[in-house]
Amino acid sequence: MTVDPSDAGVSDANARFYDALERADLDQMRDVWLRTDAAVCAHPGRTPLQGWDDVWASWEAILSSGGNPQIIITEERIHRRGGIAWVTAIENMISGGHTGAASALNVFEHDGERWRMVVHHAGPVLG
């Protein structure tokens, strides 16, 4: 299956990431990422994880813990230069009656077939 290498394809890849997170779908989350030593993930309030093995271990723990929030993405902006794209967005989260927001940066690389995530960084929006 070839995924659109345009901005629409990047937006679809970004949506797949958040769908996997909301549904706690380990298989889909694994499929979203490019499995590389260059993978980086910085969860809110945590130091960055470097390399696929550490990134994947964090997603396994998070998605297996339950209580995944509903996430509404706003202010999505896509920037693309050839086979690399990055998305900035606000993650508006609802979980157990609580709400919060994080500012996110997601970086994708087109592997010749589809856009795959190589970097996810999210930090809380204060105030």
**Per-residue pLDDT tens digits for 63-114:** 998 877 899 999 999 999 999 999 999 999 998 888 999 999 999 999 999 9
Q: 111: Cβ–Cβ under 8 A, 6 or more apart, which residues?
A: 34
Helix (H, G, I), strand (E, B) or coil at 90: strand
pLDDT at 49 over 50: yes
What pLDDT does residue 4 have? 59
**Once rounded to an integer, what is the mean pLDDT over residues 12-35?**
96
Mean pLDDT, rounded, of the chain: 92
What pLDDT does residue 1 have? 43
Query: Domain boundaries in the chain?
Result: 7-124
**Once rounded to an integer, what is the mean pLDDT over residues 38-64?**
96
Percent of the chain whose predicted confidence (pLDDT) is above 70: 96
Predicted confidence band of residue 26 (pLDDT cuts 50, 70, 90): very high
What pLDDT does residue 66 have? 81
Would you identify the CATH topology of the domain 7-124? Nuclear Transport Factor 2; Chain: A, (3.10.450)
Q: 114: Cβ–Cβ under 8 A, 6 or more apart, which residues?
A: 1, 2, 3, 9, 13
Predicted confidence band of residue 127 (pLDDT cuts 50, 70, 90): confident
Q: Quick one: residue 7, left, alpha or beta (phi over 0 = left, psi -120 to 50 = alpha)?
A: alpha
Sequence length of the chain is 127
What residue spans of 1-127 are helical by DSSP H?
7-23, 26-32, 52-64
